[in-house]
Structure formats: C-alpha cells, structure tokens
Amino acid sequence: MDILALAATGARYIVNLIANSKTLDAAKEDAIGKSWQWVKQHIFRVHPSLEAQVDKENTNEEKTEVLTRELTNLLQEEKFRDAFAAWLQSLQKDPTVKNFFGTEIQEMEGDIHIGDTGKSGQGEKYDLKNVAMGKVDKMKGNFRVGDDH
C-alpha cells in the first residue's frame, strides 16, 4: 500500500473512531480496545497540536483532510510507516467480545448485570469481556459489571 493510500485509510479510521464517539473527548473514554491508545501514543503525542486541530474541525471531511495531510508526512519515516501499517492490519481482525452493554436507556426499573453467572465462561479467552459503555439516565435497581464466579 502506498503512503497516500495508507494515510487516507488511517485518517478515515481515526475519524470514524472519533465520529462514532461524537467528540474527541468521548472517543478517549469510549474507544473499544486499544485503538485510541495507539492513536494517542503514536500520533497525537508526536504532534500535540494535531489533536486540538482535529477536534476543532466541524465536519468529518475536514477532520479526515487534516489527518491525511499529517499522516502523509509521518508516514515518510519507515519505522512509523511499518508500525502504522501493522496497527491498521490489526484492526482487520474482529475482536472477540463477550458481555457488552453499549446502548442508551432513558429509564429502567430492574437490575442490569453485565457478566457471566455461575461457572459459565471460566477459562475462555476474549479481547474484551464485561464491558459497560452504555448510558442509563434513570434506574430503579442495581447495575453491576463482573462475573459471579
């Protein structure tokens, strides 16, 4: 993959990561897996002003344009290009996720438990397990994350 295509692909992914979380601040809190940590460590730490610049852009197209331009420059360095390509490739595999709550509920009466009960799931391996990223505005009951065993 050439540098421009790699930069454009990466920029689109990062903007989708941000857009699906509504804002850059929410992406920092909501990103599944280690995607946000990688972006922060390898891109925004190298260019701190880029994070603020991307956050202030109004449209996803503008964000993508800014990121593509900066990524094109960063990708000139072979070490970064190899790491970035490996990161993008790692995103191609689907993470295994179990017990995920990612919805928004206005009002609920009753309990919510995100996790296994009894001995179910013991010894199984997942990339993410027992993840609560949703929102409950009003709840009469208990909200618990974690396995019972």
DSSP letter for 43, please: I
Average pLDDT over residues 99-122: 79
- The least confident of 14-18, 23-27, 38-42, 109-113 is 23-27
How many other C-beta atoms lie within 10 A of the C-beta of residue 10?
Answer: 24
Please determine, for residue 92, whether its predicted confidence score (pLDDT) is greater than 80: no
Exposed e or buried b for every residue in 105-124, given b needs 16+ CB within 10 A? eeeeeeebbbbbeeeebeee
Tokens encoding 102:
């990612």
Q: Which residue from 71, 68, 143 is spatially nearest to 110, judged by alpha carbons?
A: 143
Are 140 and 110 within 8 A, CB to CB? yes
pLDDT band of 121, cuts 50, 70, 90: low
Q: What was the pLDDT predicted at 22? A: 46
> For 28-38, what is each residue's pLDDT tens digit?
444 444 676 77
DSSP-derived letter for residue 135 is E
Measured distance CA(83)–CA(90) in Å, rounded: 10
**129-141 burial, b for 16+ CB within 10 Å, e for fewer?**
bbbbeeebeeeee
User: What's the pLDDT score for residue 21?
Assistant: 54
Domain boundaries, the chain: 3-90, 97-145
Phi, psi of 143 (to 5 degrees): -120, 120
| Residue 83: predicted pLDDT | 86
Q: Mean pLDDT, the chain, as a whole number?
A: 76
Long-range contacts of 21-29 (CB under 8 A, 24+ apart): 23/55, 24/51, 24/54, 24/55, 25/55
Q: What is the pTM assigned to this prediction?
A: 0.51
